């Protein structure tokens, strides 16, 4: 399986290269220049000439592509001309710790695959321990090596792209992870329950609600939530339950710190009040999708021969559903959820705009409007990398859930 | 005479569909003694499987429902048991194996898991004892390296091997009755013979009663003590193997026998088929349900539903004209 993951990662890198080239060409040939705004002011002429020279905008597209690529992988504060050896020589102790963490994580992953224990619990333990190890390693590596790269300098004059994305990514993650969690914990049990009680009143109601949510555009859901749950709610009852804009209130810092520097309860409450509505907006569609998918896959399993066998063995209905049906019914959902995880990285452009959420989506739309190649490319590459990685994760999860899947 | 092991009386299982009520099993009564091997034969859709599923109470409302009837097993009426008691009967006292072994095992659990699960459910043993019982059960169905295959998944087995696993699972708790619903239909002929021989051997050894459901008369011939023929939701003829094969009293049985390939007869002869198609179970024809397809039908057959009665020849038959017809002497195919 290790060889399989390596092979998939290599394919992934090739895919990302192709992606970067295609997207770069699209931006190049869609017309316009990042400096167009400045042209309105005649006195800007020398600045335009200077920036054109600096950014290489007068060069042919392939040269521009390589300039972008070089900047993308150039570490902070290291001039582009210096080679890799020089870069390594300039790394501080913290960077070396990060490299050690990465090596350790790879080593642990490899080592685990040489341990042969043929049991289900072992497969599960192995999967989780590897994921955990990588999370910890990721935490250490974060902002040391990979993310010490600039990812290029923004054309909008606001510094290295990485700095902008890093800030926005945290915000997007808060919103996206909450939305995903909400979609999962509501959508999947809903689908399962609907399948178990097929054609009941609850099932019909769930189906109807799913179709309504699924077919309502997200900007309508978002605005309706703002209107009903925030504005009208406050007007009619006088209770301010939810906020419609931003991540926290302006007086957030004054709400006091909790123990160990953690947010206080008042701060947590404030965060939830801001988070709820945008999270519901994003979750709504996924939730409807998950519940439909889960219902269909559960129904298929419920009518399968092996479930009849399980019943004929005398297993209680609970065991039949939980042990024999659920695991099989979850397999098809894995792909769906994995790809959703990947797209969370890219942020939710519409929802973030409606709710004034300073995330990647807003950064992205801003970058597109001002033809800021480095930022656009960085977001695209991040989403691309997310899709590649989550596809691999999905395939590994398949193997955990379904013994018929083999990696070779 | 001792009480029968299984006593089904006037069982009626109906399914409600949009077109109307399908009377899949419509008044079936029969008894199976301990250790008896009974064959249930009939075309697809004649209610064989539904009868079996009804005995196990695996018919799920609201789609299907056992309307009336009594299923007495070992002195208890299964239809009156609570769900919890019924779970003890399923897999414990009555085991069932199914038609398609390729899909009857859960693909995500090992053979061992699925066997041990059944044993733990019905026997008061520890996990390691259950494991030993499971390995013995696999040994009994002649699966090589039983200890090793416990860790294997169903997809690593061939169809025949999976059916052996199903049999091992069914017999691991020493049931008094094994219901085999077309156990060899999905297997190739060589494997069929192996599986049938294995089942015969095991059932004889343990004195397990078997209810063998099949549309293949050839399978029944060597295996069963007695045979009942079903048509359109009810039993039309019941007797010993000899009686059914050599002296059929019901024109349907007679027709079925005529549609069998026989190695001991000339190859030149055309195979006979029972003309027409099985009737709708929503609006069955009045009178004898086989009437419209019967070569010997008369007015009475279109008016009154014949009931299962003792024929002069010994077996029970549901035909108005069984006593006057001498089917044995009519060459099959002569009338068509």
Domains and CATH numbers, chain A: 160-252+264-408 (1.10.3720.10)
Across the interface, do A312 and B56 touch by the CB < 8 Å criterion? yes
Give dist(CA A248, CA B166) in Å, integer: 61
> How close does chain B come to A226, measured CA to CA in Å?
43
> How close does chain A come to B272, measured CA to CA in Å?
34
Q: What is the mean pLDDT of residues B42-56?
A: 86
> How close does chain A come to B100, measured CA to CA in Å?
8
Going from the C-alpha of A150 to that of each of A53, A70, A75, A98, A381, the distances in angstroms are: 20, 10, 6, 17, 13
In 3-state terms, what secondary structure has residue B256? helix
Q: Count interface pairs A-B at CB distance under 8 A.
A: 73
- What's residue A331's pLDDT? 87
> How close does chain A come to B97, measured CA to CA in Å?
8
Which of A62-76, A157-171, B208-222, B256-270 has the lowest average pLDDT?
A: B256-270
Residues of chain A with C-beta less than 8 angstroms from the C-beta of B87: 314-316
State the sign of the Cα–Cα–Cα–Cα dihedral A8, A11, A16, A22: negative
Residues of chain A with C-beta less than 8 angstroms from the C-beta of B100: 305
Res B268 pLDDT > 60? no
pLDDT < 50 positions in chain A: 78-83, 145-147
H/E/C letters for each residue in chain A? Answer: CHHHHHHHHHHHHHHHHHHHHHHHHHHHHCCCCCCHHHHHCHHHHHHHHHHHHHHCCCCCHHHHHHHHHHHHCCECCCCCCCCHHHHHHCCCHHHHHHHHHHHHHHHHHHHHCCCCCCCHHHHHHHHHHHHHHHHHHHHHHCCCCHHHECCCECCCCCCEHHHHHHHHHHHHHHHHHHHHHHHHHHHHHHHHHHHHCCCCHHHHHHHHHHHHHHHCCHHHHHHHHHHHHHHHHHHHHCCCCCCCCCCCCCCHHHHCECHHHCECHHHHHHHHHHHHHHHHHHHHHHHHHHHHHHHHHHHHHHCCHHHHHHHHCCCCHHHHHHHHHHHHHHHHHHHHHHHHHHHHHCCCHHHHHHCCCCCHHHHHHHHHHCCCHHHHHHHHHHHHHHHHHHHHHHHHHHHHHCCCCCCC
Would you give the DSSP letter of residue B90? B
Across the interface, do A308 and B91 touch by the CB < 8 Å criterion? no
Beta carbons within 8 Å of A289's beta carbon, 6+ residues apart: A187, A214, A336
Give dist(CA B147, CA B110) in Å, integer: 12
**What would you report as the CA-atom Rg of chain A, rounded to the nearest whole angstrom?**
25
Nearest CB to A314: which of B87, B98, B104?
Answer: B87
Q: Following CA atoms B262, B263, B265, B268 in sequence, which dihedral angle do they give, to the nearest 10 degrees?
A: 90
Nearest chain B residue to A306 by CA distance is: B104
B214 with B230: CB under 8 angstroms? no
Nearest CB to A306: which of B92, B96, B103?
Answer: B103
Q: In what order do the strands lie in the sheet with B37-41?
A: B94-97, B177-181, B209-214, B37-41, B226-231, B234-240, B316-317, B309-310
Residues of chain B with C-beta less than 8 angstroms from the C-beta of A315: 87, 91, 117, 121
Q: What is the mean pLDDT of residues B162-188?
A: 88
Report, at the CATH architecture level, how domain B6-224 is classified. Answer: 3-Layer(aba) Sandwich (3.40)
- What's residue A206's pLDDT? 92
CA nearest to B231, candidates B288, B297, B180, B301: B288
CA nearest to B175, candidates B129, B117, B228, B122: B122
How many C-alpha atoms does B301 have within 13 Å on its Cβ side? 18
Nearest CB to A404: which of B87, B92, B107?
Answer: B107
Number of CB atoms found within 10 A of residue A182's CB: 18
Residues of chain A with C-beta less than 8 angstroms from the C-beta of B172: none
Give dist(CA A196, CA A225) in Å, integer: 31
**Whole-number average pLDDT of chain B:** 84
Nearest CB to B98: which of A308, A315, A404?
Answer: A308
Beta carbons within 8 Å of B138's beta carbon, 6+ residues apart: B111, B115, B146, B149, B150, B164, B165, B168
ipTM of predicted assembly, 2 dp: 0.86
Q: Which residues of A touch B (CB under 8 A)?
A: 118, 120, 199, 304-317, 324, 327-328, 401-404
- What's residue B119's pLDDT? 92
Across the interface, do A403 and B107 touch by the CB < 8 Å criterion? yes
Every domain of chain B and the residues it spans: 6-224, 249-264+271-329
The number of residues making up chain B comes to: 336
Beta carbons within 8 Å of A380's beta carbon, 6+ residues apart: A19, A20, A23
Across the interface, do A312 and B58 touch by the CB < 8 Å criterion? yes
In 3-state terms, what secondary structure has residue B22? strand
Higher pLDDT pick, B278 / B140? B140
> How close does chain A come to B290, measured CA to CA in Å?
32
Across the interface, do B106 and A324 touch by the CB < 8 Å criterion? yes
- What's residue B45's pLDDT? 79
> How close does chain A come to B107, measured CA to CA in Å?
7
Nearest chain B residue to A305 by CA distance is: B104
Q: Following CA atoms B122, B127, B131, B133 in sequence, which dihedral angle do they give, to the nearest 10 degrees?
A: -40
User: Greatest CA span in chain B, whole angstroms?
Assistant: 67
Which phi and psi angles does B333 have, rounded to 5°? 95, -10
Going from the C-alpha of B245 to that of each of A86, B222, B256, B262, the distances in angstroms are: 94, 11, 10, 12
Interface probe with B: pick from A304, A312, A319, A404, most Cβ of B within 10 Å: A312
Q: How confident is residue B78, by pLDDT bands cut at 50, 70 and 90?
A: confident
Give dist(CA B236, CA B319) in Å, integer: 7
Burial class (CB in 10 A: 0-12, 13-18, 19+), A163: middle
Going from the C-alpha of B299 to that of each of A310, A398, B306, B331, the distances in angstroms are: 49, 65, 12, 24
Going from the C-alpha of A314 to that of each of A151, A309, A331, B52, B101, the distances in angstroms are: 60, 9, 25, 15, 18
Give dist(CA B96, CA B172) in Å, integer: 12
Give CA B225 to chain center in angstroms.
Answer: 13
- What's residue A80's pLDDT? 46
H/E/C letters for each residue in B302-335? Answer: HHCCCCCEECCCCCEECCCCCCCCCHHHCCCCCC
Q: How confident is residue B336, by pLDDT bands cut at 50, 70 and 90?
A: very low
In 3-state terms, what secondary structure has residue B132? helix
Higher pLDDT pick, A328 / B285? A328
Q: Which residues of B touch A (CB under 8 A)?
A: 56, 58, 62, 83-84, 86-92, 95-96, 98, 100, 103-110, 113, 117-118, 121-122, 151, 153, 155, 166, 169
> How close does chain B come to A316, measured CA to CA in Å?
7
Nearest CB to A313: which of B83, B84, B121?
Answer: B121
Q: How confident is residue B267, by pLDDT bands cut at 50, 70 and 90?
A: low
Q: How confident is residue B330, by pLDDT bands cut at 50, 70 and 90?
A: low
List the beta strands (DSSP E) in chain B: 6-16, 21-32, 37-41, 64-73, 76-77, 94-97, 177-181, 209-214, 226-231, 234-240, 309-310, 316-317
> How close does chain A come to B18, measured CA to CA in Å?
14
């Amino acid at each position: 399986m290790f060889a399989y993951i390596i092979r998939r990662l290599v394919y992934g890198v090739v895919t990302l290269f192709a992606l970067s080239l295609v997207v770069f060409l699209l931006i190049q040939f869609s017309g316009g220049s990042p400096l167009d705004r400045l042209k309105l002011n005649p006195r800007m002429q020398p600045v335009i000439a200077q920036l054109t020279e600096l950014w290489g905008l007068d060069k042919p597209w392939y040269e521009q592509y390589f300039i972008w690529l070089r900047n993308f992988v150039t570490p902070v504060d290291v001039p582009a001309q210096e080679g890799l050896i020089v870069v390594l020589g300039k790394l501080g102790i913290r960077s070396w710790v990060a490299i050690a963490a990465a090596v350790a994580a790879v080593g642990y992953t490899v080592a685990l695959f040489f341990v042969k224990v043929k049991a289900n619990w072992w497969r599960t333990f192995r999967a989780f321990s590897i994921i955990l190890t990588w999370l910890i390693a990721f935490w250490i590596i974060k902002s040391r090596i990979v993310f010490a790269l600039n990812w290029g300098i923004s054309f909008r004059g606001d510094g290295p792209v990485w700095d902008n994305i890093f800030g926005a990514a945290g915000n997007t993650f808060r919103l996206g992870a909450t939305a995903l969690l909400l979609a999962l914990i509501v959508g999947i049990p809903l689908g399962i329950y609907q399948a178990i009680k097929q054609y009941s009143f609850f099932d019909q109601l769930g189906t109807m609600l799913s179709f309504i949510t699924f077919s309502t555009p997200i900007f309508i859901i978002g605005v309706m939530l703002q209107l009903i749950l925030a504005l009208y709610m406050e007007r009619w009852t006088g209770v301010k339950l939810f906020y419609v804009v931003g991540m926290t209130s302006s007086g957030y810092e004054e709400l006091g710190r909790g123990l160990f520097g953690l947010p206080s309860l008042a701060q947590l409450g404030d965060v939830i009040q801001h988070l709820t509505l945008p999270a519901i907006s994003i979750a709504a569609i996924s939730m409807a999708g998950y519940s439909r998918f889960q219902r269909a896959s559960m129904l298929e399993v419920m009518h399968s021969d092996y479930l009849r066998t399980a019943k004929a063995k005398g297993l209680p209905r609970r065991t039949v559903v939980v042990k024999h049906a659920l695991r099989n019914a979850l397999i098809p959902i894995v792909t769906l959820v994995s790809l959703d995880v990947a797209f969370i990285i890219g942020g939710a452009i519409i929802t973030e705009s409606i709710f004034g959420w300073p995330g990647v989506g807003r950064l992205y739309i801003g970058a597109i409007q001002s033809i800021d190649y480095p930022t656009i490319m960085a977001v695209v590459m991040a989403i691309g990398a997310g899709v590649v990685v989550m596809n691999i994760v999905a395939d590994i999860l398949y193997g955990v859930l379904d013994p018929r899947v083999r990696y070779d | 005479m001792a009480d029968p092991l299984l006593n089904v009386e006037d069982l009626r299982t109906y399914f409600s569909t949009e077109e109307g009520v399908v009377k899949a099993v419509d008044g079936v009564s029969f008894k199976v003694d301990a250790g008896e091997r009974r064959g249930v034969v009939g075309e697809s859709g004649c209610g064989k499987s539904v009868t079996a599923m009804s005995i196990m109470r695996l018919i799920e409302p609201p789609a299907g429902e056992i309307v009336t009837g009594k299923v007495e097993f070992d002195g208890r009426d299964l239809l009156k048991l609570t769900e919890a008691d019924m779970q003890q009967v399923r897999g414990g006292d009555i085991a069932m194996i199914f038609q398609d072994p390729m899909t009857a095992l859960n693909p995500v659990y090992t053979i061992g898991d699925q066997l041990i699960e059944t044993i733990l459910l019905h026997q008061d043993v520890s996990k390691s004892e259950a494991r030993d019982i499971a390995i013995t059960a696999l040994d009994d169905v002649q699966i090589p390296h039983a200890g090793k295959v416990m860790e294997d998944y169903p997809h690593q087995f061939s169809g025949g091997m999976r059916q052996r696993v199903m049999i091992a699972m069914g017999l691991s708790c020493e049931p008094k009755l094994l219901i085999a619903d077309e156990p060899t239909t999905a297997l190739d002929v060589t494997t069929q013979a192996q599986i049938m021989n294995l089942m015969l051997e095991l059932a004889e050894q343990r004195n397990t009663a078997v209810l063998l459901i099949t549309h293949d008369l050839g399978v029944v011939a060597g295996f069963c003590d007695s045979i009942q023929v079903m048509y359109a939701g009810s039993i039309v003829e019941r007797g010993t193997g000899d009686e059914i094969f050599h002296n059929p009293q019901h024109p349907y049985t007679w027709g079925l026998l005529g549609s069998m390939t026989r190695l001991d007869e000339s190859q030149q002869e055309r195979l006979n088929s029972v003309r027409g198609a099985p009737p709708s179970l929503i609006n069955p024809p009045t009178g004898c349900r086989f009437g419209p397809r019967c070569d010997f039908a008369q007015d009475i057959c279109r008016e009154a539903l014949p009931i299962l009665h003792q024929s002069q020849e010994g077996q029970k038959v549901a035909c108005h004209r069984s006593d006057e017809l001498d089917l044995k002497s009519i060459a099959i195919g002569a009338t068509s």
